[in-house]
Structure 1
């Protein structure tokens, strides 16, 4: 028939193969019971070795699983610690930025303070120049060799001279007017 004997599917003639089996009917080959017993014992020993190997593998597998679980918990702890440290680092960086801004502001205030201090010193020296005695003025000019400040002093003295000259003119005019009224 053109059907497979095991699955009963239809096949074409090109796919059907005939198989011829030959069996050895020689019953004269027999092994002695001692050698068969020895083979059985060897196979039993091999089975026992394989079972022991399986048990050892199972134990090592369990130990590895325990180690894996311990390592997982350790990794989780380390990850949380890393995240805490990262957030702390971020906070510290923010504080550093804030303190740098404060320091910049303080530097600006210090610069303004120093500039104002110099102006005050200049005004005080101008005040001494205008209202001080000639000895004080000479001593002040000797102590300060700065040409820029000397130029400032000269300009102030020129302004003071012009204002004093104008005041004298006004006082002379007032004195003449008072003299003329009295006469």
Structure 2
């Protein structure tokens, strides 16, 4: 199990509001220390949010106050676009218990003005939105257990370097104004 994942937002206050109000995470701990290199290097806050009550799983934002570190106005903190990748590649998925909780999360996001994409995969159903820095975040739930056949297929596909013939999954996009857009597969 992953204990925590830490990222650096462009604007800590905006991201703090997003992860507490929109994602529904609870602020549970802050570690405030001098930066590596001592007081001359500056200081940091390592801000822990519990992703689900009692889960022991945390999402962490850095609040940086580093001496000599000037954040370029064009700096992109996105974990995908900032690396030159499409926005949907690197993302973080948080597990919820069942389709009812997933639906509640979707409605919560919509009530906060978020655009929400929903995709039914082979073994999970997921909803997606983006944080203030453009990082894709996901809530997901298992819809069936993985089997020995899934594991055997995974071993086969690991060695398969042929282009995929299966299109991407179709999805549905929910807009805060109530509109629903069918997103066809990538055929």
Tell whether the structures are fold-level matches, with TM greater than 0.5: no
Q: Give the TM bin, normalised by the shorter chain.
A: under 0.3
Scaled by the length of structure 2, the TM-score of the pair is 0.14
Scaled by the length of structure 1, the TM-score of the pair is 0.15
Q: Rg: which structure is higher?
A: 1
> Which structure shows the higher strand fraction?
2
> Which structure shows the higher helix fraction?
1
